[in-house]
Amino acid sequence: MRSLFSFPNPVNEVSARLVAGGVVAMSAAALAFQLEWLVAVIALGFIARVATGPTLSVLGQFVTRVVTPLLPAAPKLVPGPPKRFAQGIGVVFSVASALLLLVFDLDTAGWIVLGALTVAAALEAFLAFCLGCKIFALLTRAGLIPDSVCEACNDISARTDAALQRV
């Protein structure tokens, strides 16, 4: 049994992409209607997902418990650490945007930062391109993230074997 403050490993990429789609929808609404309060909600969601995966995230719970089970798509298991790293980048961008908008009254900068986050989330949601995961891989190759943080990242056969055992 996982503890409350743990991140799932592996992660179902189908659910991860759906969560990213939810972030795109909320961010687009915040941008289109200048809803600064919604940026704070987006930031809280990212903080919850970094800390606990979908456990304390309303969006994460909705996706994993309601939406994903309704889809005919088979689960696609991917390593958790790169996805958690990507969520961490989402925390940085969403919190920065919220602070710029709500605390420092730097609206243009805040909306630009949220726009960048929206682009990254859209890449994940619509093209299965996880920018944070790519950065994670580059940092691992550069030796800044130890290989031990994500042994599964280096061993695709372990993920394939695990996925086949679930079928």
Nearest to 130 by CA among 23, 8, 17, 7: 17
DSSP labels, 74-94: PP-EE-HHHHHHHHHHHHHHH
Q: What is the pLDDT of residue 166?
A: 47
What's the sign of the alpha-carbon dihedral 117, 58, 162, 158?
Answer: positive
What is this structure's pTM?
A: 0.89
Classify residue 75 as exposed, middle or buried by CB count within 10 Å of its CB (0-12, 13-18, 19+). middle
Q: Please compute Rg for the chain using Cα positions.
A: 16
Q: What is the pLDDT of residue 162?
A: 52
Contact 101, 111 (CB under 8 A): yes
Type of residue found at 14: V
The two tokens of residue 158 are 């372990």
Q: What is the pLDDT of residue 150?
A: 87
Q: 38-62 burial, b if ≥16 CB within 10 A, otherwise e?
A: bbbebbbbbbbbbbbbbbbbebbee
Contact 101, 107 (CB under 8 A): yes
Classify residue 90 as exposed, middle or buried by CB count within 10 Å of its CB (0-12, 13-18, 19+). buried
Contact 53, 60 (CB under 8 A): yes
Q: What is the pLDDT of residue 6?
A: 84
Q: What is the pLDDT of residue 43?
A: 98
Mean pLDDT by 10 residues, the chain (167 residues): 79 97 98 98 98 94 96 95 97 98 98 98 98 96 91 63 49
